[in-house]
Structure 1
Amino acid sequence: MTDRTNKKEEIIQGVAASPGVAHGEVFVIHQRDLEIPVLELESTFIPREIERFERTLVETRKEIMRVRNEVAERLGEGEAKIFDAHLLVLEDTALIDETIRQVQDTHYNVEHCYAEVAQRYIEVFAALDDEYIKERMTDIRDVTRRVLQNLLGQSAQNLYELTSERVVASEDVSPSDAAQLEGSKVIAVVTDAGSRTSHAVIMARSLKIPAVVGLHDITKRLASGDYVLVDGYDGTVIINPGEETLFRYGRLKQERLNIQKAFEKSSLMPAKTQDGVTFKVCGNIGGPEECGAVLANGGEGVGLYRTESLFIGADKFPTEEEQYQAYRRTVEAIQPHPIVIRTLDLGGDKMVSSLNYTQDEENPFMGFRAIRFCLEHTDIFKDQLRAILRASAFGDVSIMYPMISSVEELIQANRVLEEAKEELRHRHAAFDENVRVGSMIEIPGAALVADLLAEHCDFFSVGTNDLIQYLLAVDRVNDRIAHLYQPNHPAVIRTLSQLMAVARKKNIPVGVCGEMAADPIYVPLLFGLGADTISVAPTSLPEIKYLLRRMNFKEAQALAKKVAGLTDPEAIFMALSAFYAQNMGDLFKDEE
């Protein structure tokens, strides 16, 4: 450990990414450049070199799948999907074909050719004005490095080898490194780059490891063995913290733990406001194994079951029977509570590369995805609908269509649903004849025609992540413009207000299932505007239920009315923050 005697305390401000407080010695990860040999081969060795490349790709795929399965088992399907994107990069036919072609044309070794081709891709993508491509740069670099290490016979850095608890400092922790966080001795993470939505941060939050990102040059300021304190609540890193600082943060850490205990105590109580209004708070899941976390954190059902985990990374589409078994297990696991199952949302950042339905698109998020994919491939869609319908015989199930942009799409989807029902009747298979059908509102156009959509569905579910991105033309995971992603933008508030007014008029329940619903600052606003239900990650449920039990619904309605009249995003945020602080002031008051 570095001698801290008489060393000056230094405070660096970054972006709070994962809550918590930790202090200890630093382990700095410097991502060294791989030394790639350049070897000219004789013609007779070229087929063998290509065979070595293809064998390495197969080995790398098994490696990624192993990591994916380990993460799914430890953290759940939501975090494991990170590695589905890695499989897409690994299996990119253009990258593979161009590498093989370069080996054949130049007679150079495959490591050299693959590194050159991959670097060209990275440079071209970095220069494109396409944020979907740019947000995948970490994945491309991570996969490229993994393939090259396997070709070179080198082992990757292993965080499991840490012999004592350390704060890991890195330029940007890769998904492969992040997958090692659990089971290692990492007590906090600090990075030069990164964002609150980076893969490493997502995993750190799931593991309750404090993280601060966006520190710019923290890896240059620190050396392995230095001593730091990490405040993941406020985004502060303190180098060489003094005894007074350590004492102060020790008290803060205990206060935060006490607050968390208060939240957990409230989690299994009804989400009932001080003036007697009860709301439903549910959990988002990616598979049956996550139902336990929903119930343990006080969830009153599942408001969003993402079904893509059954499809992504598979060698073939799952059969109706395979899907039915998964849906039935999930429905039975959450009983007696309701569950909303979202139909397939492939496309955008969730494409099945190993199947013959992948196609290149300039803007996948606005392209051939979700309900558009399903309506073109009705055989796949019907398999899923029949599976969900059969599972509805075992509990309270609703079906929800993603990415609806028009009344015609909703009518078409319902028509396919009716065909699926008729086929099950013909088989004498049991299902809920009155299963409810909902439309996701995540496209501004859908919000504008909500009154027309209401004639053909039983409920709305607002996907705020996509709705805000499409509404403001801002990609929240792009570091350069992430500050423009504002749930407190007047356009967002007005859109939600108008949508919920239409829903009230049409007597259509409204749920909200995006990140906006998981932020306690916005929860009173959403319910004040007219939301009936919110659905969030299970870990977010305790604080939200605590807040709902302390607030007054009429005051939340007054807050919504006030905010709807404001035009400055900062003023909106200040009003929401003040309401939150007012209702959460005495966190240790005993719950009745």
Structure 2
Amino acid sequence: MSSPEKDEIVVQGIAASQGIAYGQIFLFVRSEVEIPTYQVDPAKRIDEVARFDRALVMTRQQIARIKAEVEKNIGPEEAAIFDAHLMVLEDQALIGETIRAFESTGNNIETCFNLVSQRYIKAFSEIDDEYLRERAGDLRDVTQRVLQNLLGQTENALNRLADQRIVVSHEISPSDSATLDRSATLAIVTDSGSKTSHAVIVARSMKVPAVVGVRNLTQRVKSGDWAIVDGYDGIVILNPTESTLFRYGKVQERKKSFESRLLEANREPAITKDGVSVTLMANIEKADEVGIVKNFFAQGVGLFRTEFLFMNAARMPSEQEQFVAYKSAAAALAPQPVIIRTLDIGGDKPLSLQADLFPKEDNPFMGFRAIRFCLEHQDIFKDQLRAILMASAHGKVRIMYPMISGSEEMARANAVLAECMTELKQRGQPFDENIEVGAMIEIPSAAATIDLLAPDCAFFSIGTNDLIQYLLAIDRVNDRIAHLYEPTHPAVLRTLQHIVEEAHKHGIPVSVCGEMAGDPVFSPLLLGLGVDALSMSPAWIPSVKYLVRAMTMAEARALAAEALTLGSPKEIYARCDAFYRARVKMD
């Protein structure tokens, strides 16, 4: 029961896994490994490298056991999380740099490995892409395991909770989340993290509520405190009163009933009440996610982020290896389209396997990345383009270039593509000679010159995450100014309107694949502005489809027209939120 002597406290975080839980807190404090530094006797240096090899082997065995356990208890998709961990242990750049540091300094291998690993962790932590930024957690988790094995320390684990508990921690590593006692974990709350952290992925698969980004909560609570975790609205309520408990009991009943209705409605087509069909597609990172795409009835893949083939690889993936991945997705989803985005990497997303390709930059978000990197390293670019072209013989594949700034860049990319087509013809390799090619519109210069890009494009896809960031000069991962990142800023709406109108003048369809597309509060606004398709995380499709089926397109157009007359982002958001709430009843 709640503690009457304490005041109720409501703290806001980020809703990460839906559901509501009530119970006592278990405060999980994960201590960092303390690393001694000392010089190794030159006569024992071979033994020191051998000790490092043994620790790597032991870590591989531990992770393989965890993976097998997760696959057995949760499922193969969640177990695939640990493939990235195993790849870290095969990363020749990481291992090689550690041994070179040891040979040059003579310091013990723990010190050298930690210094090299921290450099990689820092690079990933500074990446703009939320999903990739979370991969720093993979590397941090593996690093801790290797160091523990080198030092002979025992593993941290959450598999022995005394009773049902809400687990509160600064962060929960993938290994920790995999060992969570499923029968005793009521909810997960972390100070840090995001919707794409592995703890969240595991929480969703376990149907456990999760709230992340609740700053400094670990400093405000202790084990045994009572709390409510609201995974729908991202709220944690400490010391809830009896009236709050009663209210949340009713909310939980309504939410569960509404979720069932969402999933049921998702089996129906995405058609508005006035008969307009809406295309809802999925964003994926890996070919093996096509099963999820089908499960949520997506109408194809609007964004296949190919950089994950490169980010977790111990070496640059070959043309053939890429072809296998792209072909499997295209074939499995045929005849629905799969839009494959070419490598969006560099600058803020360095490749650990070939770090020498990336110069140090003061402002990597606007630096040597994406299409800029590919046009300079055409050997890498052409391997990927040939692989995509070959996959086009097995399904409806489209090619999309990221971070296009203008027509000259688009023409250069298409010229490289034409070379690849000629090379495949010479090989006698079949491919779709009429494959459609499009551009991501995420740079203001591209948005302003849609008419100039149109002759070289069959479609446009708006990456709202970056476009908003660049339009408003807001670094959305900078905590001090992230609150200024406003999707409903009039400049954003006017830019979106301009993109759609100019594209449609030239007969070119426009989709949105940024976070706005998957938010049911914003999706009617985008559709009202004339966007032809929305692409999102598969799990968001039911919520968006439900709203599509509850509105008319005429109402969405009226909402967009009104929003374009307003000057305040908050006022525009309020109109969108009211539109959503008027049509989505949870009772």
Q: TM-score normalised by the shorter chain: which range applies?
A: 0.7 to 0.9
Q: Match of 2:461?
A: 461
Offset at 1:283? 0.9
| Change in 2 beyond 3 A, CA 1:420/1:125 | closer
Q: Match of 1:484?
A: 484
Offset at 1:37? 4.0
Q: Match of 1:74?
A: 77
Alignment partners' CA distance in 2, 1:52 and 1:256: 53
1:93-140 Cα shifts (integer Å, max 9, x gaps): 7777556544x2xxx644456667878x699999x9998999687677
Deviates more, 1:61-70 or 1:163-172: 61-70
Report if aligned partners of 1:175, 1:200 keep a CA contact under 8 Å in 2. Answer: yes
Length, aligned pairs only: 579
Structure 1 residues 299-310: aligned runs within 5 Å: 299-310=298-309
Paired letter, 1:11: I
1:65-86 Cα shifts (integer Å, max 9, x gaps): 9879979942487997799899
Offset at 1:7? 4.9
Structure 1 residues 92-103: aligned runs within 5 Å: 97-98=100-101, 101-102=104-105
Q: Secondary structure at the match of 2:269?
A: coil
Deviates more, 1:185-194 or 1:67-76: 67-76
Is 1:15 the counterpart of 2:18 in the alignment?
A: no
Deviates more, 1:451-460 or 1:399-408: 399-408
Report if aligned partners of 2:442, 2:467 keep a CA contact under 8 Å in 1. Answer: yes
Q: Secondary structure at the match of 1:160?
A: coil
Q: Match of 2:269?
A: 270
Offset at 1:256? 0.6
Deviates more, 1:552-561 or 1:532-541: 552-561
| Change in 2 beyond 3 A, CA 1:342/1:39 | closer
Alignment partners' CA distance in 1, 2:80 and 2:473: 28
| Change in 2 beyond 3 A, CA 1:312/1:198 | closer
Q: Match of 1:558?
A: 558
Report if aligned partners of 2:63, 2:85 keep a CA contact under 8 Å in 1. Answer: no
Report if aligned partners of 1:56, 1:150 keep a CA contact under 8 Å in 2. Answer: yes
Q: Match of 2:523?
A: 523
Q: Secondary structure at the match of 2:505?
A: helix
| Change in 2 beyond 3 A, CA 1:483/1:88 | farther
Q: Secondary structure at the match of 2:468?
A: helix
Could you tell me the percent identity over the aligned residues?
Answer: 47
1:274-328 Cα shifts (integer Å, max 9, x gaps): 1111110011122332222222212111111222333332233333333333222
| Change in 2 beyond 3 A, CA 1:45/1:92 | closer
Offset at 1:557? 1.2
| Change in 2 beyond 3 A, CA 1:12/1:556 | same
Cα RMSD between the aligned structures? 3.8
Scaled by the length of structure 1, the TM-score of the pair is 0.85
Q: Secondary structure at the match of 2:474?
A: coil
1:386-420 Cα shifts (integer Å, max 9, x gaps): 32222222322211111212212211221222222
Alignment partners' CA distance in 2, 1:43 and 1:387: 48
Alignment partners' CA distance in 1, 2:550 and 2:562: 20
Alignment partners' CA distance in 2, 1:354 and 1:469: 29
Deviates more, 1:214-223 or 1:49-58: 49-58
Report if aligned partners of 1:389, 1:431 keep a CA contact under 8 Å in 2. Answer: yes
Paired letter, 1:192: D
Structure 1 residues 464-543: aligned runs within 5 Å: 464-543=464-543
Paired letter, 2:524: P
Alignment partners' CA distance in 1, 2:126 and 2:526: 34
Structure 2 portions without partners, runs of 5+: none
Paired letter, 1:229: I
Offset at 1:40? 5.9
Alignment partners' CA distance in 1, 2:186 and 2:375: 47
| Change in 2 beyond 3 A, CA 1:568/1:65 | farther
Alignment partners' CA distance in 2, 1:76 and 1:468: 35
Paired letter, 2:256: L
Offset at 1:174? 3.6
1:186-236 Cα shifts (integer Å, max 9, x gaps): 331223344556564465456543223344443234333333221122333
Is 1:384 the counterpart of 2:384 in the alignment?
A: yes
Offset at 1:14? 1.8
| Change in 2 beyond 3 A, CA 1:327/1:26 | same
Q: Match of 2:435?
A: 435
Q: Match of 1:253?
A: 252
Q: Secondary structure at the match of 1:91?
A: helix
| Change in 2 beyond 3 A, CA 1:402/1:569 | same
Report if aligned partners of 2:25, 2:224 keep a CA contact under 8 Å in 1. Answer: yes
Report if aligned partners of 1:68, 1:81 keep a CA contact under 8 Å in 2. Answer: no
| Change in 2 beyond 3 A, CA 1:505/1:125 | closer
Q: Match of 1:583?
A: 583
Paired letter, 1:236: I
Report if aligned partners of 2:123, 2:350 keep a CA contact under 8 Å in 1. Answer: no
Is 1:544 the counterpart of 2:544 in the alignment?
A: yes
Alignment partners' CA distance in 2, 1:287 and 1:129: 22
1:447-491 Cα shifts (integer Å, max 9, x gaps): 122111111010001111222222223332333332122212222
Offset at 1:513? 0.5
Q: Secondary structure at the match of 1:311?
A: helix
Q: Match of 1:405?
A: 405
Report if aligned partners of 1:95, 1:117 keep a CA contact under 8 Å in 2. Answer: yes
Alignment partners' CA distance in 1, 2:65 and 2:515: 29
Offset at 1:544? 0.4
Offset at 1:4? 5.5
Alignment partners' CA distance in 2, 1:476 and 1:434: 38
Paired letter, 1:563: A
Deviates more, 1:404-413 or 1:339-348: 339-348
Q: Secondary structure at the match of 1:289?
A: helix
Structure 1 residues 274-423: aligned runs within 5 Å: 274-355=273-354, 358-362=357-361, 363-423=363-423
Alignment partners' CA distance in 2, 1:354 and 1:124: 15
Report if aligned partners of 1:77, 1:287 keep a CA contact under 8 Å in 2. Answer: no
| Change in 2 beyond 3 A, CA 1:378/1:135 | closer
Deviates more, 1:362-371 or 1:293-302: 362-371
Alignment partners' CA distance in 2, 1:129 and 1:287: 22
Alignment partners' CA distance in 1, 2:92 and 2:477: 19
Paired letter, 2:282: G
Q: Secondary structure at the match of 1:336?
A: coil
| Change in 2 beyond 3 A, CA 1:357/1:333 | farther
Report if aligned partners of 2:503, 2:509 keep a CA contact under 8 Å in 1. Answer: yes
Alignment partners' CA distance in 2, 1:477 and 1:31: 25
Alignment partners' CA distance in 1, 2:199 and 2:477: 13
Deviates more, 1:354-363 or 1:252-261: 354-363
Structure 1 portions without partners, runs of 5+: none
